Amino acid sequence: MSECPADLKYTSSHEWIRVDGDEATIGITAHAQSQLGDLVFVELPLLGDEVLSGKEVAVVESVKTAADVYTPLTGQVIAINESLTATPEAVNEDPYGEGWLFKVKMQNPSELDDTMTADAYADQNSD
Amino acid sequence: MLKHTPLYDQHVAAHGKLVDFAGWEMPIHYGSQMQEHHAVRQAAGMFDVSHMGVCDISGPDATAFLRYVLANDVARLKSFGRAIYTCMLNDEGGIIDDLIVYAISSTQFRIVLNASRRDVDLAWLSEQAVNFDVSVLEQPTYAIIAVQGPQAIKSFVSLLEDNAQQAQVTALKPFQFVTVDDLQVARTGYTGEDGLEIILPASQAPVIWQQLCDAGVKPCGLGARDTLRLEAGLNLYGVDMDETTTPDVANLAWTVSLHDPQRHFIGKQAVLAQREVGVPQTMVGLVMAARGVLRNHQAVYSHGQPVGEITSGSFSPTLSMAIAFVRLPADFQGELSIERRGGFQPVQRVTLPFVRQGQSKFKPVSVEGVSDE
């Protein structure tokens, strides 16, 4: 049973969002990294990319499989976690902290209304 | 309802991530398959492989029987207390299973079967044994623990209190085995590292497992087992070969013994006939220098045209690059690439193994018309 930090928002495609003003940090959840297994490669968007909510912007690849990561928010990519090139396992070891993927300057903060709370995300995953 | 090995409780206690493997609930890892892989290359790791079948072949015709049903020749073993790796073929030369045979005496052998092929193998062996004075008896009350890595043998020997037993195990040459109390201890493995495979009564498995843990041996799951064996250039039944493939197209021609022309074995004629006509395919190693992981069944291209297919594809934790086996037309020489995210990525054909005893071993196979980068 993975823990979902209560201060974050979540998507049904297993991304988490940490909001700070009009900036959002995005990563994948503990549940997602557990399903994928040890990551060996992370492909991130480019700094400055304009991204559209719902579009695939990153790829996380494990020994088992590759998975697309979607941005829940429209805006510009203002930061990417370049340390993941050398240490992709940070996503497995600290998915909500050191394993963050990229930051978006939000163009439409109202898109956050479509995201889930920690409880709703946990409910979605319990089976 | 999935089956459990005698070590199931140990896997649960060690937080193993349990998955369905051939109808058995087995740990794919205990936290990190990468760390488990590195532990085997650098120190010692252990695998519960009790889901594999153990079958004893005994009787006056045991040797003759195995010389008939197996493509390798047990009569070539220099002495007893030795194991041999072989394929078991059908009449068309297709591989029913690959297995290890332990020669205990001329009338007593033990074979270890792949979990996914247990039932098929036992049915086949029983059927073929009809005209031989031999018994084919499954041994369901054994567990199997594989202890692998440069520290593996030392760690196991530290568990033995008897100096004579310690000396016996320490003296084992590769592919030799010895019986220590109720344990059959063989210097064999599936990882490309030194180590032991121990067949033991199920009742003793939890204690031995715990003792090995206490001695510093790391429990490792099936995920690490797969990346280790692929690095070592070792085949996996059902992925690299099956009943439709002969040994020659699966990099296993070396396991077919024609040394004794008088020996008839099942599949011999078909294998020879294929060699006569020309073996159509070969299976070779592949590495990809660019970022990414190679995957089972991935198509391999040359100049934009599909020419082959990856059988086993994965990532090598030791080499930090993608590695695979690929089946190609027998005399194929051209440059190779795979499709990735809408474009083509070059891949390099290499000799096997990729890794042996922790060291990178592969060499590029040079290709006509392509200059070295």
Interface test with A, best of B32, B38, B230, B293 (most A CBs within 10 A): B293
Report d(CA B28, CA B42) in Å as an integer. 20
Above 60 in pLDDT, residue A2?
no
Name every residue in A having a CB less than 8 A away from some CB of B. 34, 37-38, 40-41, 43, 61-64, 66, 89, 92
Chain-chain contact of A62 with B314 (C-beta, under 8 angstroms): no
Above 70 in pLDDT, residue B370?
no
Phi (first) and psi of residue B175, to 5 degrees:
75, 10
Interface test with B, best of A63, A84, A85, A87 (most B CBs within 10 A): A63
Q: What is the DSSP string of B63-119?
A: HHHHHHHBSS-GGG-SSSSEEEEEEEE-TTS-EEEEEEEEEEETTEEEEEE-GGGHH
Chain A nearest CA to B143, separation (Å): 27
pLDDT 10s digits, B140-185: 999 999 999 999 999 999 999 999 999 999 999 999 999 999 999 9
| CA-to-CA dists, residue A110 to A7, A48, A74, A114, B18, angstroms | 17, 21, 10, 8, 41
Chain-chain contact of A61 with B293 (C-beta, under 8 angstroms): yes
pLDDT 10s digits, B209-221: 999 999 999 999 9
Please tell me chain B's helix, strand, coil percentages from 3-state DSSP, rounded to the nearest 5.
25, 35, 40
Which candidate, B97, B100, B351, places its Cα nearest to that of B241? B97
pLDDT 10s digits, B293-330: 999 999 999 999 999 999 999 999 999 999 999 999 99
Residues B307, B258 contacting (CB under 8 angstroms): no
Name the token pair of B9: 């409780």
Above 50 in pLDDT, residue B373?
no
Q: How confident is the model at residue A1, as a pLDDT?
A: 44
DSSP A112: G
Interface test with B, best of A38, A39, A59 (most B CBs within 10 A): A38
Report d(CA B183, CA B143) in Å as an integer. 10
Chain A residues near residue B314 by CB distance under 8 angstroms: 63
Chain-chain contact of A63 with B291 (C-beta, under 8 angstroms): no
Above 60 in pLDDT, residue A127?
no
Chain B residues near residue A37 by CB distance under 8 angstroms: 28-29, 33, 223
Q: How confident is the model at residue A126, as a pLDDT?
A: 76
Chain B residues near residue A41 by CB distance under 8 angstroms: 291-293
Report d(CA B51, CA B144) in Å as an integer. 8
Chain A nearest CA to B320, separation (Å): 8
Chain-chain contact of A63 with B223 (C-beta, under 8 angstroms): yes
A37: nearest CB among B223, B291, B292: B223
B34: nearest CB among A38, A43, A66: A38
Phi (first) and psi of residue B144, to 5 degrees:
-135, 125
Q: How confident is the model at residue B341, as a pLDDT?
A: 79
pLDDT 10s digits, A70-84: 999 999 999 999 999
Chain-chain contact of A41 with B291 (C-beta, under 8 angstroms): yes
Above 80 in pLDDT, residue A35?
yes
pLDDT 10s digits, B2-43: 999 999 999 999 999 999 999 999 999 999 999 999 999 999
Indicate the pLDDT class of residue A64, thresholds 50, 70 and 90.
confident
The stretch B44-64 carries a mean pLDDT of 98
Q: B171: helix, coil or strand?
A: coil
Q: How confident is the model at residue B99, as a pLDDT?
A: 97
Task: Provide the β-strand partners of residue A17.
Answer: A9, A26
Average predicted confidence (pLDDT) for chain B:
96
pLDDT 10s digits, B210-261: 999 999 999 999 999 999 999 999 999 999 999 999 999 999 999 999 999 9
Chain B residues near residue A61 by CB distance under 8 angstroms: 292-293
Number of A/B CB contacts below 8 angstroms equals: 32
Indicate the pLDDT class of residue B368, thresholds 50, 70 and 90.
low
Residues B284, B248 contacting (CB under 8 angstroms): no
Report d(CA B33, CA B29) in Å as an integer. 5
Name every residue in B having a CB less than 8 A away from some CB of A. 17, 28-29, 32-34, 223, 227, 291-293, 314-315, 317
Chain B residues near residue A38 by CB distance under 8 angstroms: 29, 32-34
Q: How confident is the model at residue B286, as a pLDDT?
A: 97
Global pTM reads 0.93
Report d(CA B66, CA B105) in Å as an integer. 13
The stretch B343-350 carries a mean pLDDT of 95
Q: How confident is the model at residue A3, as a pLDDT?
A: 73
The ipTM, to two decimals, is 0.85
